[in-house]
Structure 1
């Protein structure tokens, strides 16, 4: 069988890219290493805004290092085990809403904290995210 040389090679869809992001997140918070895999998914000027806790200006992280430190490293340090489980993707082209939950254990207690992440992608990489989560449950888990 002869290959079709005129067929274009498709780049990953937004859903595939974000599935890679969650898999990398789960790998990093479990093994506490391999940040390069995640960094490759982000634009250099990526922003992550935690829209559910405090003043947004104080909770917006800009740049790969700031996002990795505050969005990936911190949850891994606050819990014994954590995984981000995406459950639903609503794809609108370069903007994708992901509904899911952070599940894991902290101080021997199980938790299941719902989240919604609104991602903006640019050239197949994550340029920004506005994150919402159930802070009432989060406070019960981490402030108890």
Structure 2
């Protein structure tokens, strides 16, 4: 379903109505379809929410592109408010994990747990350290 948020049309896939809601955030270049298999494997008793972030999937982009971290986070927070989600878990991969971390902190005082995965191919300790600094907690597989 499409929602008008922050001057954009964001495509948001929703299923179920349980608590807490699970919000899935995709990587750079991904879409809500990134999480389709994961969502399908969950019992229908969970409320799942998977947006196409601005400029990806079926969501629109702004004329100035607006692909800064703060733009994505503001869209995520606007979506949470528009959907009246009060208790939720944020799950993200790569860019989605970065968005989870920032949105989770900014979402206070709502009840939020953020699970992030910014896994990558770290060849050196320096790359790993930079990633950990940029993304918060990183898991390198």
TM-score (norm 1): 0.25
Q: Kindly name which structure, 1 or 2, has the bigger radius of gyration based on alpha carbons.
A: 1
